[in-house]
Amino acid sequence: MDDRAWVATRKGLFELRRSGASGGKWAIAHVSFLGEPVSMLLAPQPSGRMLAALNLGHFGAKLHASDDGGRSWQEVGVPTYPTQPEGAEGAPWKLVLIWSLEAAGKTLWAGTLPGGLFRSDDGAASWQLIDSLWQRPERLEWFGGGYDVPGIHSICPHPQRPGEVLLGISCGGAWITADDGANWALRAKGMRAAFMPPERADDQNIQDPHLIVRCAARPEVLWCQHHNGIFRSTDNGASWHEITSAPLSSFGFAVAVHPGDPDSAWFAPAIADQTRVPVDGALVVNRTRDGGRSFETLRDGLPQRDCYDLVYRHGLVVGADGRALLMGSTTGQLWASDDGGESWTTVAAHLPPIHALRFG
């Protein structure tokens, strides 16, 4: 059972621990970077190293590493864009935000605004821009989703095929490499963009997948909470199928997939893109256990009146056992479940806005 988790917030990084030996309630055990915006974290790796991405409003995005579980930190290299050629089109070649961090073996991946993917092979001491993606002409068609510039929020390494990674980009669709980043191909066929003119609704390169997650045990199965609904792929992203059976609303940002069961996934719906609050002021989690053919709406322990919390894309995660869940909102509430979402308890009600949650 997972007994440690991390909460990256607008004003600090919070470590959660369970009380007692195992299975106890979550409680805040430690705070790092109090007052500073933490945009993303990488939980401790087998080496012991963990990362925290800061978004210092005045002084830029920074990256810090800890080798002792967050008790001490040192600043490490930060992804830096190369010199922008004269007349280069598109967003300025300037790091805005580190939006995603993932590890695949000893390779670390960082997804950023304005849309660059970086890798580190030295434990985050230095980072290299993946030029093969950055130089794709399609990148100039990408645009911001929630930010002024496009960004990479989802990095899904293939757990069985080293060098294969699938990305989710808002708004730039989904992309895959099978050769460790040397070549890239679009992977968003079947997604649908209602925010575009009809003739471009199916354009793979401008889709807005809010988050893409991969089933660890069945990595060919991917789930996507998209700006315009819920999509699922059972062929490693080669094709996506829209799922329209979710109750209340198919709009939202977050999705979590059961690590051992590709048919089980959780969503945190909001009314619609123009009204990003829970339906009827009642926070719920929609869960499917049959690949999206049907859903249950889970409410036990979640606020059911006067609730206007939004769960952002990195604010809903499931543990390795497929039963422990954490969910945090942009108004700073944090809930936990130990029964696959059947029931929830409040971990903290007054945290800063929650950017990201991670077990580990």
Partner 1 sequence: MARIEFTPQLRRFTETPAIETGAATLRAALEDAFAANPRLRGYVLDDQAHLRANVVVFIDGQRCRDRVALDDGLRADSRIHVMQALSGG
CB nearer to partner 1: give 73 or 295.
73
Angstrom distances, CA of residue 331 to CA of 34, 139, 302, 348, 355: 17, 33, 14, 11, 10
131 is a site residue for partner 1 (CB under 8 A): no
Upper half-sphere CA count for residue 136 (Cβ side, 13 Å): 23
139 is a site residue for partner 1 (CB under 8 A): no
**Burial tier of 246 (Cβ tally within 10 Å: 0-12, 13-18, 19+):** buried
CB nearer to partner 1: give 62 or 313.
62
Cβ–Cβ < 8 Å for 67, 25: no
244 is a site residue for partner 1 (CB under 8 A): no
Residues 48-67: x/- map of binding to partner 1 (CB under 8 A)?
--------xxxxx-x-----
Quote the longest CA-to-CA distance of the chain.
60
Shortest Å distance, C-beta 83 to partner 1: 7
Shortest Å distance, C-beta 39 to partner 1: 15
Residues 73-92: x/- map of binding to partner 1 (CB under 8 A)?
--x--x-xxxxx-------x
195 is a site residue for partner 1 (CB under 8 A): no
Query: Which of residues 93, 143, 147, 195 is near partner 1 by CB under 8 A?
Result: 93
Shortest Å distance, C-beta 66 to partner 1: 16
CA distance 50 to 217: 24
94 is a site residue for partner 1 (CB under 8 A): yes
CB nearer to partner 1: give 114 or 145.
114
CB nearer to partner 1: give 11 or 299.
11
**Burial tier of 45 (Cβ tally within 10 Å: 0-12, 13-18, 19+):** middle
C-alpha distance across the termini of the chain, in Å: 10
Q: Which two tokens stand for residue 228?
A: 């315009």
Residue 133's beta-bridge partner residues?
Answer: none
Shortest Å distance, C-beta 55 to partner 1: 11
Residue 358's beta-bridge partner residues?
Answer: 6
Shortest Å distance, C-beta 331 to partner 1: 14
Question: Where on the chain is the footprint of partner 1 (CB under 8 A)?
Answer: 56-60, 62, 75, 78, 80-84, 92-95
